[in-house]
Structure formats: structure tokens, C-alpha cells
Amino acid sequence: MKFSGWPESGELVVGEVDEIEDFGVFVDLKEYDDKRGLTHVSEVASGWIKNVRDHVREGQTVVCKVLDVDEDAQQIDLSIKDVNDHQRSEKIQEWKNEQKADNWMLLAFGEDVDDETYTRVANGILAEFGSLYDGFEEAAIHGHEALEGTDLDDDDLDALVETARENVSVPYVNVTGYVDLECPTPTGVDSIKEALKAAEGNGEVPDEVDLEVTYVGSPEYRIKVQAPNYKTAESELETSADRGIEAIEGIGGTGEFHRERRTDDE
């Protein structure tokens, strides 16, 4: 997707070196329709530059900082030297992600999707998430719920969620904790089994979360949680332990949550 407007001063943009002159470098902006900027020779690299071609080449992808925009003069002043390695790497990844999301839009609505439909859906996602990629990632993780804040209709949401879940590789994190469950009653074994079912959520764990409770050694059980982020993972871990402890205490047993595995001499 390319923007039809103008970049803003201070913005980082991805471009392709189109033409090299002694006085500077002309750069075609890949994220904006029909926009071209100039990087003066003094903004190509730090220090004295003998030959501009020692620093850039035609066809090279570069990340530039927008220094100034003059819409009346149709002029965009850029700097290559003002972008550090971290900013460059981060911006290139962001740009690549948006290219992926652009392809996902075509998968969701068809290669022949009309400009009006594409723009309407894209603007809905951008208004809510700031980027197409973030919108697809949230749809892959949280489904229709993630897109409730948009003004898109049900058919749009169905297409986006289905495409997201088929194509987006969602980053996950893993956390582990332990819960001790004891119940010194004649039905203690069955009571612990019920407490373990409660810890596992009884089918109420969110779709984006994978939760597993396994036996370690009496009375200790391991809770492993995989989730899209640490906040969710930690919350589900503690909730799982709380469910198990509440269940066992409700039938006369005891429970305790801890983050590290017990050693044999504890």
C-alpha cells in the first residue's frame, strides 16, 4: 500500500536511489505515490565526501529522514546520514511487514479488488491499529474481537480474520509455574483430579492461549502457558493456579503456587 499524501518532517521513509549527481542523490519514496526526494551531498554521509558513489549506488534501498517538505515547490529534502543502524533496521522491517500485509489484503479480498474497497478496509485498519500488519496480527491472535473498534462490516471482518489466521505467524512467549495440591481425605485422588481440571480451565481458556498442567512429583504440578505476550501469559498462569487452589481448598485440601520447582530436600 502506498500513501497518496506527503511525508512529514522528521519521519523516516524507505526509498530507492534513482539518480546520483555530484551535488546529491535523488530518492524515489517507496511508501508514497509519485514522490521523490533529494539528499544533498552533505546529508549522504558524515565527513567530507570525495565521491558520492562511494557511499550509495543506483537501485539501492535506503532509509532516510525527512528534513523538510515544500508541497508548493514539490520538494522533499532528505538525509541518509541522520539515520542510525537501529532506526534503519527497524524501519526496513516495518516496511517489509507492510508489504506482507498488502499481499494479505489481496488474499482476503481478491487480486482484482477495486481501489474503493481496498482503501475503505485499509483505512479502517489503519485508524484502529496504525498499520496494516498490526491489524492482521491482532486479528490472528484475537479474531473478530480485535476488530470490533473498526467500522468494517461482518463480511470484511470474516475475510480479514480468516486470512490472518491462515497467514500470520504470531509471536508467542512461554511461562512456567508450579502448584502444590494436597487433599488428605479418602477421596483425595479424585479431588486433586477435579482441581487439575479446574486449573486447566474447563474449556474456558482464551483461544490464543495454550495451557498445560502436568504432574511433576507429588504434590507438585507444572503449569505451562503459551500466549501472544508476557502480560497475557502471566495473567493466565496465575489464574490457572488460583482456579486449582480454590477448587482443592473448597473440598478440604490445600494448595500453594510457586514459580520455581521444589528440590527434593525442601
Cα–Cα distance, 15 to 43 (Å, whole number): 15
Q: Which residues of 161-170 are buried (b: 16+ CB within 10 A; e: fewer)?
A: bebbeeebee
Claim: this prediction has a pTM higher than 0.75? no
Domain boundaries, the chain: 12-82, 86-167, 173-258
CATH number of 173-258: 3.30.70.1130
At 187, the pLDDT band (50, 70, 90 cuts) reads confident
Q: Which of 107-111, 156-160, 189-193, 229-233 has the lowest mean pLDDT?
A: 229-233
Instruction: Identify the CA nearest to 178 among candidates 261, 264, 265, 266.
Output: 261
Q: What is the pLDDT of residue 1?
A: 63
> Which superfamily does CATH assign the domain made up of 12-82 to?
Nucleic acid-binding proteins (2.40.50.140)
**Residue 226 pLDDT greater than 70, yes or no:** yes
For a pLDDT cut of 90, what percent of the chain falls above it?
Answer: 71
The per-residue pLDDT for range 211-223, each reduced to its tens digit, is 999 989 889 999 9
Q: What is the dihedral of CA 231, 232, 233, 237, to 10 degrees?
A: 100
**Residue 75 pLDDT greater than 50, yes or no:** yes
Q: What is the pLDDT of residue 143?
A: 85
Give the CA radius of gyration of the chain: 27
Cα–Cα distance, 154 to 170 (Å, whole number): 23
Cα–Cα distance, 171 to 251 (Å, whole number): 39
Report the Cα 35 to chain-centroid distance in Å. 28
Mean pLDDT, range 222-236, rounded to an integer: 89
CATH 1.10.150.190 fits 86-167, yes or no: yes
Please state the φ and ψ torsions of residue 213, each to the nearest 5 degrees: -115, 125
